[in-house]
Amino acid sequence: MGKEFIKLFTPLKREKVIKLKAGEKVLITGVIYTARDAAHKKLVRLIKEKKPLPFLLDDQIIYYTAPTPPGRGKVIGACGPTTSSRMDKYTPLLLSRGLRGVMGKGQRSVEVKEAIKKNEAIYFITIGGAGAYLSRRVKKAEIIAFPEIEPEAIYKLWVEDFPAIVGIDARGEDLYQNLWRNK
Amino acid sequence: MKKGLLEKIKNTVSTLCKEANYGIREDIFEALCQAEKEEKEELPKFILSTLIENINISREEKIPVCQDTGMAEVFVEVGKGVKIEGILLKKNILEGVKEGYEEGNLRKSVVKDPLFSRKNTGDNTPPLIHLSFSPLLEKEIKIIVFPRGFGAENMGKVAMLNPQEGREGVKRFVLGAIREAGANPCPPIIVGIGIGGTMQTSMFLAKKALLRPIKIRNPHPKYALLEKELLKEINDLRIGAQGMGGMNTCLGVNIEHFPTHIAGLPLAVNISCYALREAQKVIRVSS
């Protein structure tokens, strides 16, 4: 495992994604979108009702978080990842509609893994419990949908060198499984 | 109760909500630094050093250590000769939580109806208040604010074991719960275990166990030994910091126990993420 970080830019191109391997460290720069439990429910309902989504999913990353309110002079508050598995039910549909990456913490279901493989997508794990640290990598934040469910609203985040680790790569290789199996 | 005292309780709760969320408890911080020093593998070492940096940023810049600033559990211990009016006490604690979460830029994470509407209450109330009476306190009230993030809270488990399952049964269940939780509760974790009482008492004990500093062992030698064995066996699972493998899955195991029924062995596991947040203060009550 190399010590170096791989630089990534959003939107995430397929060609770039399929080269990434589980366990590699990356730094993400560009726009990403937040969504967690309640926002996922709403997004999936919009898709099922064939209504437009608040942002285009194509090649984008959804980040599972709901930040704390920003302190004075800050762009955002703490914004670390929440447990991804609560979104397992919704992820395959979003990936089939063009979403390229998802980011959170913890293990994913077999269904999500299959959907990642099928759609040549990717699951990033970022550092759970590092909300204050990660807030420094966010340069701008704006609520673009569902303000009524704050703090679970969808934020558009402009991030710079946001650190993450490839958790499940486009071939379906699962970092946790590899790490825990080898022991 | 005098107005001044109620005001003081409200302000103290408010301050403790903020204090608890900017950083983590000192004994856990020390254990985390030690873990980082000893870790040999690259990925978990990177995680651990990032978590330490995260705490330093949180403390210095007053940014919550985690975006999940939790549902506030408030433990109130009333000392000797203190007269309280329960309803006013509860009201002022609730007001304190409301104020602390607003002023401290903490996230409002509580929904009113757990099953149907799931609408956010908007002010992080209600808190969960646990009132007890302590002969160890003089004319004092001790307040502990323990914000519970749900990444870890969700991973807790209760079992009503058959007493015949004994010590081995306890270990099997605890290890099973932790294996299943995996990377979800943000390891390195701290494990609180409650044994005895009735079903809900065991979980209360598990939570109380987390309030004890991790360097202090259960005073009963057999329980103390069980704490040590479990710590080692949990670390042998090698889930590691944020699930990245390595030697640091768990920083501490605390067990609390209580008498129980002849037919039962209630057992509860309550997990804390690495970011165990707790702040406390003793208020002197003037006559």
Residue B286, pLDDT score: 86
Q: Is the pLDDT of residue A178 over 50?
A: yes
Query: In whole angstroms, what is the distance from residue A104 CA to residue B242 CA?
Result: 11
- Show residues of chain B in contact with A105, CB under 8 Å: 151, 183-184, 186, 242
Nearest CA distance, A19 vs chain B (angstrom)? 20
Other C-beta atoms within 10 Å of B213: how many? Answer: 13
Question: What proportion of chain A, given as a percentage, has pLDDT over 70?
Answer: 97
Query: In whole angstroms, what is the distance from residue A104 CA to residue A113 CA?
Result: 14
CATH number at residue A29: 3.20.130.10
Cβ contact (<8 Å) for B184 and A85? yes
Does residue B35 come out as left (phi exceeding 0), alpha (psi in the -120 to 50 range) or beta? Answer: alpha
Q: Is the pLDDT of residue B23 over 60?
A: yes
Query: In whole angstroms, what is the distance from residue B103 CA to residue A29 CA?
Result: 32
Residue B281, pLDDT score: 98
Q: Give the number of residues written for chain B.
A: 287
Q: Are the CB atoms for B72 and B78 separated by under 8 Å? A: no
Residue A182, pLDDT score: 59
Query: In whole angstroms, what is the distance from residue B224 CA to residue B217 CA?
Result: 5
- Show residues of chain B in contact with A128, CB under 8 Å: 151, 183, 186, 242, 273
Average pLDDT, chain A: 96
The confidence band for B175, taking pLDDT boundaries of 50, 70 and 90, is: very high
Cβ contact (<8 Å) for B105 and A69? yes
- Reading the block at residue B180, the tokens are 């299943």
Closest residue by Cα to residue B130 from B71, B216, B83:
B71
Q: What is the ipTM of this complex?
A: 0.95
Residue A11, pLDDT score: 98
Residue A180, pLDDT score: 87
Q: With H, G, I as helix, E, B as strand and everything else as coil, classify residue B75.
A: strand
Pick from A5, A68, A85 the residue to mutate for testing the B interface (most B CBs within 10 Å): A68
Residue with tokens 């195991």: B253
Distance of CA A140 to the CA centre of its chain: 17
Helices B166-181 and B221-236: crossing angle in degrees, nearest 10, is 40
Q: With H, G, I as helix, E, B as strand and everything else as coil, classify residue A49.
A: coil
Contacts of B109 (CB under 8 A, 6+ apart): A66, A151, B68, B69, B70, B71, B120, B124, B150
Q: Give the phi and the psi of residue B35 in degrees, each rounded to 5.
A: -60, -40
Work out the average pLDDT over A52-61.
97
Closest residue by Cα to residue A132 from A64, A63, A75, A62:
A75
Work out the average pLDDT over B275-283.
98
Residue B72, pLDDT score: 98
| Burial (Cβ within 10 Å: 0-12, 13-18, ≥19) of residue B85 | exposed
Question: In angstroms, what CA-CA distances link B187 with A47, B39, B225?
Answer: 36, 14, 23
Residue with tokens 């063009």: A98
Q: Is the pLDDT of residue A150 over 80?
A: yes
Measured at the CA of B18, the angle between CA B15 and CA B23, to 5 degrees, comes to 130
- Show residues of chain A in contact with B153, CB under 8 Å: none
Asked if B121 reaches chain A (Cβ–Cβ under 8 Å), the answer is: no
Q: Is the pLDDT of residue B171 over 80?
A: yes
Work out the average pLDDT over B245-251.
97
Closest residue by Cα to residue B276 from B124, B149, B101:
B149
Residue A1, pLDDT score: 43
Closest residue by Cα to residue B258 from B185, B189, B208, B211:
B208
Work out the average pLDDT over B106-117.
97
Q: Is the pLDDT of residue A2 over 60?
A: no
Asked if B69 reaches chain A (Cβ–Cβ under 8 Å), the answer is: yes
Work out the average pLDDT over B53-58.
98
Cβ contact (<8 Å) for B108 and A151? yes
Nearest CA distance, A163 vs chain B (angstrom)? 10
Provide the number of structural domains found in chain A.
Answer: 1
Closest residue by Cα to residue B71 from B7, B9, B143, B145:
B145
Amino acid making up residue B101: Y
Residue with tokens 């926002």: A39
Q: With H, G, I as helix, E, B as strand and everything else as coil, classify residue B157.
A: strand
Give per-residue pLDDT as tens, B135-156: 999 999 999 999 999 999 999 9
The confidence band for B1, taking pLDDT boundaries of 50, 70 and 90, is: confident
Closest residue by Cα to residue B235 from B165, B171, B180, B188:
B188
Residue B85, pLDDT score: 94
Q: Are the CB atoms for B141 and B53 separated by under 8 Å? A: no
Q: Are the CB atoms for A81 and A133 separated by under 8 Å? A: no
Q: Is the pLDDT of residue B21 over 80?
A: yes
Other C-beta atoms within 10 Å of B180: how many? Answer: 11
Average pLDDT, chain B: 97
Residue A3, pLDDT score: 64
- The shortest CB-CB distance from B54 to any of A130, A149, A176 is to A130
Residue A181, pLDDT score: 72
Question: What proportion of chain A, given as a percentage, has pLDDT over 90?
Answer: 95
Range of the domain at A123: 5-181
Nearest CA distance, B77 vs chain A (angstrom)? 30
Q: With H, G, I as helix, E, B as strand and everything else as coil, classify residue A88.
A: coil
Q: In what order do the strands lie in the sheet with B250-260?
A: B157-161, B265-272, B189-197, B250-260
- Show residues of chain A in contact with B58, CB under 8 Å: 78, 131-132
